[in-house]
Amino acid sequence: MALRQDRLTRNRLTNGLQTLLIMIGLALSLSVPGYLLAGIAGVLVCLSAVLFATLMTSWMPARLILAQAGAGRLAPQHAPELYRVLAHLYERAGLQLTPQLYYAPSPDLNAFAVGTRHDGGIAVTEGLLRSLSLRELAGVLAHEVSHLRHGDTRVMSIAAAMTRLTLWLTTAIQLAILISLPLVLAGQVTMPWLTLLVVAFTPTVSTLLSLALSRNREYTADMEAAALTGDPEGLASALAVLERHHGLWLSSLFGRHRPVEIEWLRTHPSTRERIRRLAEIDDDRRRRHHPSLRPPHSPHPVVRQRPAALRHRDWLRRR
């Protein structure tokens, strides 16, 4: 591995602890409106509803995302270089499933993992294939392989379900208080100011925790990607390309100056900080002369044929 094992283990433990604390915070945020509505029984019902919804939709969201993106399955013979790199990454990550690549004909620069380590794959867009070299794509693919390896799609699905249910329940409580305003004005009941204050801020806390969890998983995926490829510079170069593309889009939308982005309102960490961390890893790797998985230099990977987009019903039939 390109990273020292003790450093990698330390980072895994730290990020795992942060994930656990954030998930506990999300559960507590969800418990507040549940308790206000029905006491302990309400808390248990809310948590059970989240688990049930997650289990019921564990396979559906991935296929819906692929269908909405107009994605098609990219055959190995049509992208041999990408599949060769992906097979090496799967082997290093200890994933037993057959590598699956999906293609989306979007000009956006994007890649995303779908499914889990037992039934999943990675989708790449046309914009990404045209903008990144094979070495840079190897870093991006390793990042997505890390998401598959650690089940990040399911973790984020649970977090999103908690945040969404928290919002629904607090909205219901706020509507109930609003309906009771005539009784408050008549003096028959008192205004529950503390309850109103709690339910007003609980959805915000839950949303911020969900965003923090997303940033945490991105940092972890960067670290794991560097360990899988042994080439942090490749991923850092890809991130720089993505940031330039994002910056050009924002500049064209808002003018010469990009709007200021608040760190704790981002789904992803700042690119500058991610590149800085990867640079530190790269320095450590060079000092220790670790071998790396670095594909031969190629302006762009060879994709001999783009697949046609599959229809919604085709994705829903697939298991």
How high is the mean pLDDT in each 10-residue block of the chain (319 residues)?
60 82 91 88 88 69 70 88 92 88 89 83 90 92 93 86 91 86 76 80 92 90 90 91 71 51 71 87 56 61 76 55
Long-range CB contact pairs, 164-170, < 8 A, 24+: 165/30, 165/46, 165/49, 165/50, 166/26, 166/29, 166/30, 166/32, 166/33, 166/202, 166/203, 166/206, 167/203, 167/206, 169/30, 169/33, 169/34, 169/37, 169/46, 170/33, 170/199, 170/200, 170/202, 170/203
Per-residue pLDDT at 87: 93
Task: Return all residues near 232 (Cβ < 8 A) that are at least 6 apart.
Answer: 2, 139, 226, 278, 279, 281, 282, 285
Of 144, 218, 224, 233, the active-site residue reads 144
What is the pTM (predicted TM-score) of this model? 0.82
| 95-108 residues labelled b (16+ CB within 10 A) or e (exposed) | beeebbbbbbebee
Q: What was the pLDDT predicted at 222?
A: 92
Q: Which residues have CB under 8 Å from 191's CB, separation 6+?
A: 177, 184
Instruction: Give the residue among 209, 206, 232 at the shortest CA–CA distance from 221.
Output: 232
Is 91 an active-site residue? no
CA torsion, points 272, 233, 141, 18, in degrees to nearest 10?
A: -50
